[in-house]
Amino acid sequence: MRTRLADIALQAGVSEATVSRVLNDKPGVRTETRQAVLTALDVLGYERPPQLRRHSAGLVGLVIPELENPIFPAMAQTIGSALAAVGYTPVLCTQSPGGVPEDEYVEMLLDRNVAGIIFVSGLHADTSASHDRYHKLADRGLPMVFITGYVAGLPAPCFSCDDAAAARVAVSHLAALGHERIGLTSGPERFLPVQRKLIGYRDSIRHFGGEELIELSMFGAEGGHAATGRLLDRGATAILCGSDLMALGAIRAIRERGLTVPHDISVVGYDDSPLIAYTDPPLTTLRQPVRQMALAAVHALVDEINGQAAPHSEYMFSPELVVRASTGAARRN
């Protein structure tokens, strides 16, 4: 026992007496110190004493569109960790083409008596889809929270990044570099985030007196590749993409034309996905505040579950322009 206490104390950076107080669930230990000891237990592979084990507060569904775009695994990880920290067990439901649709996942979650559901970029973000499904869940009294894709009139909070502001910031950045033919590619227009990007893009293009160069495609690298070819044919010297994956597809299309980034064409992504700073060239992008949005969504859902509902409105988070090496001054012929 003495060896175990010494090991834990060394790992946590506290005294053995403090470790003993934490293991015996005694008062008088600061929260951060108690957490450091518990973390040391986990790191060293010791089993927590029964009185320190967190009892599950229930299941929470997390419905996410897919895991190919790195932004979604990053969001799922933050949400899952935040739920676990307050005693809830996340149930991840990942959609994919030809796979289980959102409505079937919801039925599975209801069968498991989940305490609530967090929807990320689901059918709620698709303006062509019926939102009756969510109203029916609300009528059942199921706590819900949405991320990206506000549905007016739905009794649930929504947390979104300001897509219109992101497009304005990107166009302003490119215009400041001397670009006059700035193109935009994103996913299908039926999605609310795409509609908002279009609004911000068009506002900025009008402000700078440029010509609208818009080529919508499918989300993903392939969609970015195809749309970029069309934008290059229309004379674009800079391209704003609806996601980092689309931007990677855009860079590939540019290089296939024998052009370079950013010497010939500048490219801006969206999301600031993990590892995107290490691409060739490192990608200039609009960073979504993923962690802040995810934590706010978890806190709001837990409040809903506990009967302390947050106002049922949209909470908008500001994007951040992260300038790297994929944007540069426009060439003067």
Q: What does the pLDDT look like over 176-216, one tens digit per residue?
A: 999 999 999 999 999 999 999 999 999 999 999 999 999 99
Mean pLDDT of 15-19: 92
DSSP 256-286: HTT--TTTT-EEEEEE--TTGGGSSSPPEEE
Greatest pairwise CA separation for the chain in angstroms: 77
Angle at 124 between CA 102 and CA 78, to 5 degrees: 75
Is the pLDDT confidence value at 279 over 60?
yes
Residue 24: the pLDDT is 87
Length of the chain: 333
Supply the pTM of this predicted model. 0.84
- Rounded to whole angstroms, the Cα distance separating 178 from 332 reads 9
Is the separation of the CB atoms in 126 and 193 below 8 Å?
no
Higher pLDDT among residues 210 and 40, named by residue: 210
Mean pLDDT of 57-66: 91
Percent residues over pLDDT 90 in the chain: 75
Residue 53: the pLDDT is 66
**Cα–chain center distance at 243:** 11
Mean pLDDT of 269-276: 94
Residue 2: the pLDDT is 55
Pair of tokens at residue 114: 């989940």
Rounded mean pLDDT of the chain? 93
78 Cβ contact list (under 8 Å, min separation 6): 290, 291, 294, 295
Pair of tokens at residue 176: 């400041």
Pair of tokens at residue 130: 């019926």
